[in-house]
Chain A
Amino acid sequence: MTDTMLTDAAERMFADLCDKAMLDAAEDGAFPSALWNTVAESGFHQLAMPDSGVSLGDAFAVVGIAGRHALPLPLAETLLANRWLAGSDGLATIGQVQDGWIVDAPWGRAADRILGLDAERGACVVVELGEGVQVREGANLAGEPRDAVALPDGAEWLPLLEPAYAYLALARAVASAGCLARVLELTLQYAGEREQFGRAISRFQAIQHSLAVMAGEVAAAGRAADAAVDALDGDRLELEVAVAKARVGEAAGVVAEIAHQVHGAMGFTHEHQLHHFTRRAWAWRDEFGNETHWQRRLGRHLAAGGADGLWAFIATRG
């Protein structure tokens, strides 16, 4: 059971704070400190710590709500880094170790510390950010900061105790599912308000059918993400993440396409808020393994198990 007091509180706070002006400013590269302070004061950044009293699944539910509102903070990364680094507090982010750098770290420029993952080695490094640490700023196609931080010499490697890459992929899947649900809401609302030929465009069958397709993809994305969250305690988390990341990624493409078609030119403007969500849905498909990456992972597992094990894999209780 999801802790609805927690999720309701997150919903209220993020809905209240994430407005268009804030998203624009964050996408221009300015860290939203006031927003961060409010979120941190409420303890949202510590939800996934082992002693938080909140289940990991509920922490992921909050990540989904953040996705719904395009919360311009590295919430999933902070949650997980504070979980994995004993005694860590404040704004922590996570990137991947590559050629002497920790790359693709959300808001590396503003973080207190950064965890660099080397999933293949099953290890990570921690770098305290501050004076003298070199940071190269970058962004994904949604304008979300994805920074690189130079790995200092002699950094200490720690073992990864949990499947970090899968957790982060799950975080993106969950956030995308929330984001896609929002895109559907925005599109339903727009279709009901926009009039052409003397009536709301939602009255046209072609539009209705597009919206029905969209609703199907949004529902599939939500169900797939939920199932992977439910698998957190089980022994096939990675495979359920594969299902979710692959399925949500496919949904993202379809949903974004239809949303823009229904919004017409208005949805193509910078002024309209739709793109904050559709660009995130596009960007998140590619982070922590795109559809092909996870399809292959799943496909290899199933092929190795053989044709006669296929149905047993699918026919789970939950």
Chain B
Amino acid sequence: MLQFDRVTLPEETESLRRDVRQFLADNAEHLERPNSDFSTGHDPAFSRKLGSQGWIGMTWPKQYGGSERSFFDRYVVTEELLAAGAPVSAHWIADRQSGNLILGVGTDEQKARYLPPIARGESYFSIGMSEPNSGSDLASVRTRAERVEGGWLINGTKLWSTDAHRNHFMIALVRTEPPSENRHAGFSQIIVDLHKDGVNIRPIRNMAGGEDFNEVVFEDVLVPEDRVVGEPGNGWKQVTSELAYERSGPERFLSGFRVFVELVRAAGPDPEPALAAAIGRIAAHIATLRRMSISVAGMLEGGKSPEVEAALVKGLGNDFEKLLPEIARLAADDSIAAAARFGRFRESLRDTLLLSPSFTIRGGTREILRGVIARGLGLR
């Protein structure tokens, strides 16, 4: 059965939390966004400031620019940033995912080359998994890399690659062997330099008006031999082994947190009963999701790989992220008289509502997560 242990953040995280709050107060000019979505605020200047604080790649060895902090420390930093609506998307994927992958299975040379600039907040990565015909069914990926004289020749198209037009690198999941009986065999992960390797990047406007995700086309793109991360052919295992990290973090339930803050601000100190109840309802959900998420962080810190629990936190968190704007919308005073008081709230609500369809799609759809949970329950 699924396990969500009582986990208490270590005492030392408190002083770190104070430092992050002070840092945010000192850098308020970066905090003007109306939402807390981790993937919509790309601000290299802010990422560099975080890097110089030692708050990117903080669990990594010092040798590679990290500060050898615990996973709990990282948790505290990330949740403080999200709750404040900080623009974290530039370094987010490199910090959460790409850097860990390189650290885990990369060569010493790759670690030395890629990790320190990530930790400084200067080098940003995108995820290249999805394709036009491969979404949930990731194993149907067709982009292929062929071993040729002088490296790997890549052909194919990646889709929905967030920030590929702004970031420096993509780690692409590609076929390095033709499909076989075992549909999970023959994949590799390859680092692509999005500026130098000659890929074709086309931003795709989303329904909220942003241009964050992209189509990335590879036509005979040649990358050097040493760009494969980990064992060639071992790509599937590598992409699935990091899922617990990707799925259980605070970004999976805090995307709408600014809506909540603005709702409380507009409500004033003595709201009418229905509005007070809405505030309490949202708080009860967030407080509980956060504790579940920290339970998973505790398991990760303890060296376990709680994939099912992580999928459950993401699924529950994403559904709640969609519910939050609905609860808030119906609780807020929509009279013209309240227009000024609820002005910032409405801006935040509009922004988050427009982003909300993506919450239960990106990083594994609701349906795919439910499948993972069902497997964990022994149903398949």
A residues touching B (Cβ–Cβ < 8 Å)?
A: 185, 188, 191-192, 202-203, 205, 207-209, 211-213, 215-217, 219-220, 222-224, 226-227, 230, 242-244, 246-247, 250, 291-292, 294-300, 302-304, 306-308, 310-311, 313-318
B284 A208 Cβ-Cβ under 8 A = no
Q: Is B181 part of the binding interface, using a Cβ–Cβ cutoff of 8 Å?
A: no
Q: Is B273 part of the binding interface, using a Cβ–Cβ cutoff of 8 Å?
A: yes
A208 B370 Cβ-Cβ under 8 A = yes
B residues touching A (Cβ–Cβ < 8 Å)?
A: 1-2, 4, 6, 8-11, 13-14, 17, 79-80, 83-84, 257, 260-262, 264-265, 267-271, 273, 275-281, 283-292, 295, 309, 312, 315-316, 367, 369-371, 373-374, 376-380
A222 B4 Cβ-Cβ under 8 A = yes
If A188-B378, A216-B373, A223-B291 touch, does A295 touch B284 (CB 8 Å cutoff)? yes
A242 B8 Cβ-Cβ under 8 A = no
A192 contacts which chain B residues (CB < 8 A)?
Answer: 378-379
B13 contacts which chain A residues (CB < 8 A)?
Answer: 317
B288 A212 Cβ-Cβ under 8 A = no
Residue of B nearest to A309 (CB): B264
B284 A296 Cβ-Cβ under 8 A = no
Please, how many angstroms separate the alpha-carbon atoms of A202 and B380 in the complex? Answer: 8
B286 A314 Cβ-Cβ under 8 A = yes
A307 B285 Cβ-Cβ under 8 A = no
Least CB distance, A289 to chain B, in whole angstroms: 11
B279 A307 Cβ-Cβ under 8 A = no
Residue of A nearest to B316 (CB): A216
Please, how many angstroms separate the alpha-carbon atoms of A296 and B286 in the complex? Answer: 16
B4 A219 Cβ-Cβ under 8 A = yes
A223 B288 Cβ-Cβ under 8 A = yes
25 example contacts (A-B, Cβ-Cβ < 8 A) are as follows: A188-B377, A208-B370, A208-B379, A209-B367, A211-B377, A215-B377, A219-B2, A223-B292, A243-B284, A247-B284, A291-B281, A292-B277, A295-B276, A295-B277, A295-B280, A296-B280, A299-B280, A299-B283, A303-B268, A303-B269, A304-B270, A306-B269, A310-B260, A315-B80, A318-B8
B377 A295 Cβ-Cβ under 8 A = no
If A224-B284, A317-B13, A317-B14 touch, does A212 touch B374 (CB 8 Å cutoff)? yes
A191 B379 Cβ-Cβ under 8 A = yes
B379 contacts which chain A residues (CB < 8 A)?
Answer: 188, 191-192, 202-203, 207-208, 211
Least CB distance, A7 to chain B, in whole angstroms: 14
A222 contacts which chain B residues (CB < 8 A)?
Answer: 4
Least CB distance, A234 to chain B, in whole angstroms: 12
Residue of B nearest to A218 (CB): B2
Given contacts A208-B379, A246-B281, A317-B10, 18 further A-B contacts (CB under 8 A): A192-B379, A209-B367, A212-B373, A215-B312, A215-B373, A219-B316, A223-B4, A223-B295, A242-B284, A294-B280, A294-B284, A298-B279, A298-B284, A299-B275, A302-B279, A303-B279, A314-B286, A317-B8
